[in-house]
A = this chain, B = another copy of it.
Amino acid sequence: MKKISDSAVRRLALYQRFLQEAADAGLDTISSGDLAERGGTTSAQVRKDLSLFGSFGKRGLGYEVQELLREIREILGVDRTWKVALVGAGKIGSALFSYRDFQKRGFRISAAFDSDPAKVGSDMGGVTVRADEEMDRRLRDEGIEMVIVAVPAEAAQAVVDRVVNAGVRAILNFAPVRLRVPRGVALRNVDLTLELEGLSFALTGR
C-alpha cells in the first residue's frame, strides 16, 4: 500500500465528521464540493484523498453519505472500539478521562495509572487509578492498544519505553518533549505550548 500522508489522514477524519453531520441531517448524497467547503479545502483535494483508497462516488451524483461514511470509518479503523489507557491522572489526564467524545468515537479508556500514592485507588468514573508499578502487567493483561501519556515531561520517555515494551503500538503524548519510539509504534504529540507559540508568531511576524 502506498504511503498516506499525515495530512491526508487528518482530512479523512474530518470528512468522517462532516459525513456524520450530513447523515444526522438526513442527507442521502454529498458532493466533493460540499465536503470541501466544510473542511476548508478544495473539491479536488477531497477526491484525491478518497482516490487513495478506492472510488466511492457516482459521477454526476456525488457520494452516498451512509456508504462513504462506512468506507471511511473502515479505512480509519474506527468501525470498532479501541482499548485505551491513561498514564498520569493529573489535571490534564483527568480532564481527558472524562472527555465524552473519546467514548462516543469508540475510544474507551479502561485503565488509568499514576505514580502519586494520593491518587492511586481513587475512582474516575468507574475506573480505579492504579499504581505505576502495576502498569506494565495490566497493560498486557487488559489488552490495551493505545496509551495517552499525560505525565510531566521528565517522566514521559521512561513511561513510553515501558508502554512500548508492554506491547502498545500507539501513543498520544501530551508531555512537552520529543519522544523516541521504535519504528512501528505510532506516536502523536499534542504540544499545547507549541500551539500558543505558533499563535504568537502569527501575531508577531506581521
Contact = CB atoms under 8 A, between A and B. Distances in A.
Given A186-B202, A197-B76, A200-B77, A98 B91 contact: yes
B188 A199 contact: yes
Given A94-B91, A170-B202, A205-B75, A188 B178 contact: no
A4 B76 contact: no
A193 B105 contact: yes
A27 interface: no
Given A105-B197, A170-B203, 7 more contacts: A1-B205, A17-B176, A77-B204, A92-B96, A107-B196, A170-B200, A172-B195
A145 to B, nearest CB: 7
A171 to B, nearest CB: 8
A193 B145 contact: no
A158 to B, nearest CB: 17
A118 interface: no
A166 interface: no
Interface residues of A, number: 55
Interface in A84-109: 84, 91-92, 94-96, 98-99, 101-102, 105, 107
Contacts of A155: none
Interface in A1-41: 1, 4, 6, 9-10, 12-14, 16-17, 38-40
Interface in A166-206: 169-172, 176, 178, 186, 188, 190, 192-205
A163 interface: no
A113 interface: no
A149 interface: no
A76 to B, nearest CB: 5
A96 B13 contact: no
A205 B131 CA distance: 33
A78 interface: yes
